[in-house]
């Protein structure tokens, strides 16, 4: 179990998509849990289709957390080294209320 700051409530199970830069977003599939270092306003359209957001940086008032609450998707932020600890396609359960990412594979 990986732990971070719970930033938007809810629980979702699904595959991980690691996003290191804007071109990586082209491969994103609906329902995937987006994993990134942080988010910025150019990534806002993704929030219509992703299942959850997990980031290395940020907290309850960061861009990703605010958007996750607006779009009603679970968010766990501030997870140490998460883009290196998870991989594309890996199945996880993101619990935005508890601030946990449970590995299902």
Catalytic residues: 63
Alpha-carbon distances, residue 24 vs 11, 20, 78 (angstroms)? 24, 7, 21
Q: How far is CA 13 from CA 27, 59, 66, 89, in A?
A: 19, 22, 21, 12
What span, in angstroms and rounded, lies between the C-alpha atoms of 20 and 71?
A: 22
């Amino acid at each position: 179990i990986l732990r971070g700051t719970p930033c938007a409530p809810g629980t979702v199970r699904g595959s991980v998509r690691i996003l290191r830069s804007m071109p990586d977003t082209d491969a994103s599939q609906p329902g995937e849990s987006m994993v990134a270092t942080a988010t910025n306003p150019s990534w806002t359209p993704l929030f219509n289709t992703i299942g959850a957001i997990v980031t290395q940086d940020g907290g309850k008032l960061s861009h990703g957390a605010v958007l996750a609450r607006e779009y009603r998707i679970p968010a766990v932020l501030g997870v140490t080294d998460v883009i290196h600890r998870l991989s594309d396609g890996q199945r996880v359960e993101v619990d935005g209320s508890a601030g946990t990412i449970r590995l299902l594979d």
